[in-house]
Amino acid sequence: MSEQLSPEEPLVDELAFPRAELRQRTVRGVIVNALFMGGAEAIVLAQGLIVTILLGPRNIGLYGIVTTTAMTVVALRRVGIDEAFVQQRERDQEEEFQRAFTLELIVGGAFSLILALAAPIVALAYGDWRLLPLMLAVAYLPTAFALQAPTWVFFRRMDFLRVRLLQTMVPAISFCVTVPLAAAGVGVWSLVIGPFVGSVAGVVTAIVVSPYRLRLRFDRGTQRRYLRFSWPVFVSSGALLLVQQGQILAFKLHGGLAAAGFITLAFTLTRYSDRADQIVTTTIYPAICVVRDRVGTLQEIFVKSNRVGLMWVLPFCVGLVLFAPDLVRFVLGEHKWHPAVLLIQGLAGAAAIQQLGYNWFSFYRARGDSTRQAVESAVMVVTFLGLAIPGLAIWGSGGFIVGRIASALLVLAVRRHYVVRLLPRARLLLLGARGAAPIAVAALAVLGLRAGVWHGHRTAAQAVVEIVVFVGLTAAVTWMAERRLIVELVEQLRSARRGEPGLLSGARP
């Protein structure tokens, strides 16, 4: 049975570095994560756009079904064992890692089997047996991700450089294999072969650099402890699976394979709206675990992290709303992708709402409470099934978008309730209004150009001018509105480089 520290005993290996470095590593981690996650996402986005042009709506729709099913099952497999490992305070960290790794490998193997068994069901549901071999070919993914568990150790130590080097290897190698294969005419299978090669490289490298031996270590007490933390995360992941897969299935049944391609493209683009929040939340989670009993500090971290996140989320989403027609017309090809415009714009609007207070659940999880997010996820599923799907059936894409936005607003109401319970002084709507002001100025300027200067039909050059105006005004007004926060972040970065202790350095759990 694993032995856990009592509250009176000193923490052993809670941090693998002096506590005075906590702030320094947190600030440095934001930079490292931003660079590497941004680079990795740029690679994935570039690959997505290139193969979209090369393969066309039907192949993208076909693979969209496969990748949405596979990657959401992978997300379902990720039941928070890694986060529970970061949160724990066991004496022997190598043994604790081996216990957690054993459980993760069991879960990964089980979900690989589930994905393989689901292959004929998915093919039957969509009425396309080309899906069967494609689904079977990606069934390895849950196990492959489990074998990359050594990255948890570096994450817990806040050694973000090693974490990101290991994780960025997979999309980089995948890109180098997928794009040439797609250009050579391999078709949809290029999107299967490339990620497989990248995953093999990632697994081998993670095993080689692991600071702990990868061995199986079974412990019922540890399993119960991790599963208590994990089941609500599983419920949340299942809800996400239902929404993501449900919308593709609904569009396939409503408008055919091409319609599935349109919603896949919209989802692929709008999912980048949460990347800034992911960067910040991923970085601060180990630090939140250390200061989890200091409500005032948690509140400050929550407010400032969300203000930073909204500096990316809102410009990105509003930019998609404004420039989705230009993306389709000048880049993807209007004759093929025009029906996707409304879906891109609508999902961008829903994403902007969904990202407000996005990282709230991490503050609960850091305190060992993972159940609240499951409640929010249940509301998301009920409203999706009750509003978005009927809207699609009755009014088409427009009705679907109205339903998704209404669902996002109801989910936000639930989120606000839980945020206030833990962090009484946090005001989500005020945060949203503050973040929206710079974007409103920039958007109005772009609309003014369209109405008062271009007068109707626009060229690609005029669209580029609008993008420059939008980005420039957004940056300028954001600087005026958030100057104090930006200056504070810059000062924290400078202090981190000098190695000076900061707010979190003296934090005691």
pLDDT digits (tens, 9 = 90+) for 240-252: 878 988 998 899 8
In a domain, 367, yes or no: yes
Last residue of a domain, one of 218, 245, 279: 218
The DSSP-derived string for 101-151 is HHHHHHHHHHHHHHHHHHHHHHHHHHT-TTHHHHHHHTTTHHHHHHTTTTH
pLDDT at 382 over 90: yes
In a domain, 1, yes or no: no
What confidence score (pLDDT) does residue 357 get? 92
Residues 271 and 249 in one domain: yes
Confidence of residue 220 (pLDDT cuts 50, 70, 90): confident
Choose the most confident range, by mean pLDDT, from 23-27, 188-192, 280-284, 434-438: 434-438
What confidence score (pLDDT) does residue 496 get? 58
pLDDT at 501 over 60: no
More confident residue, 342 or 227: 342
In a domain, 120, yes or no: yes
pLDDT digits (tens, 9 = 90+) for 326-336: 999 999 888 88
Residue 376's closest CA among 204, 240, 173, 229?
240
What confidence score (pLDDT) does residue 498 get? 57
In a domain, 7, yes or no: no
Residues 191 and 245 in one domain: no
In a domain, 366, yes or no: yes
Amino acid at 394: I
Residues 115 and 203 in one domain: yes
What confidence score (pLDDT) does residue 17 get? 63
What confidence score (pLDDT) does residue 507 get? 40
What confidence score (pLDDT) does residue 15 get? 57
What confidence score (pLDDT) does residue 503 get? 42
Residues 160 and 256 in one domain: no
In a domain, 385, yes or no: yes
Last residue of a domain, one of 218, 248, 264: 218
155 in Cβ contact with 166 (< 8 Å)? no
What confidence score (pLDDT) does residue 505 get? 42
pLDDT digits (tens, 9 = 90+) for 149-198: 999 998 888 888 888 889 889 999 999 999 999 898 888 898 899 999 99
Helices (H), 328-371: 334-337, 340-354, 360-365
205 in Cβ contact with 151 (< 8 Å)? no
In a domain, 506, yes or no: no
Confidence of residue 469 (pLDDT cuts 50, 70, 90): very high
Q: How far apart are CA 323 and CA 317, in angstroms?
A: 10
pLDDT at 4 over 70: no
Residues 411 and 477 in one domain: yes
What confidence score (pLDDT) does residue 375 get? 94
Q: What are phi and psi of 90, to 5 degrees?
A: -75, 160
Provide the domain count of the chain. 2
Least confident of 71-75, 99-103, 127-131, 363-367: 71-75
More confident residue, 100 or 7: 100
* Signed CA dihedral, 377, 72, 150, 287: sign only: negative
What confidence score (pLDDT) does residue 14 get? 53
480: burial class by Cβ within 10 Å (0-12, 13-18, 19+)? exposed
Q: How far apart are CA 12 and CA 92, in angstroms?
A: 8
Last residue of a domain, one of 160, 195, 218: 218
Residues 36 and 143 in one domain: yes
Confidence of residue 3 (pLDDT cuts 50, 70, 90): very low
Amino acid at 27: V
What confidence score (pLDDT) does residue 13 get? 46
pLDDT at 257 over 60: yes
Q: What are phi and psi of 324, to 5 degrees?
A: -55, -40
**How much of the chain exceeds pLDDT 90, in percent?**
44
Q: Which residues, including other chains, have CB under 8 Å from residue 342's CB and lie 6 or more apart?
A: 397, 398, 401
What confidence score (pLDDT) does residue 7 get? 37
Residues 195 and 333 in one domain: no
Mean pLDDT computed over every residue of the chain: 86
Domain range for 436? 231-501
Least confident of 26-40, 173-187, 208-222, 299-313: 26-40
Residues 69 and 168 in one domain: yes
Section 273-282 average pLDDT = 77
Residues 198 and 259 in one domain: no
Residues 176 and 248 in one domain: no
Centroid of chain to Cα 17 = 28
What confidence score (pLDDT) does residue 20 get? 66
pLDDT digits (tens, 9 = 90+) for 387-436: 999 999 999 999 999 999 999 999 999 999 999 999 998 999 999 999 99
Section 41-67 average pLDDT = 82
Amino acid at 252: K
Section 79-105 average pLDDT = 86
In a domain, 48, yes or no: yes
State both tokens at 67. Answer: 């990748």
Q: Which residue has the tokens 């993306």?
A: 327
pLDDT digits (tens, 9 = 90+) for 101-156: 999 999 999 999 999 998 999 888 888 888 899 999 999 999 999 999 999 998 88
Residues 44 and 79 in one domain: yes
What confidence score (pLDDT) does residue 26 get? 76
What confidence score (pLDDT) does residue 18 get? 67
- Print burial letters for 234-256: b (CB count within 10 Å at least 16), e (below 16): bbbbbbbbbbbbbbbbbbbebbe
Residues 283 and 397 in one domain: yes
pLDDT at 499 over 60: no
Section 222-232 average pLDDT = 83
Helices 295-327 + 275-290 axis angle, to 10: 170
Q: How far apart are CA 108 and CA 103, in angstroms?
A: 9
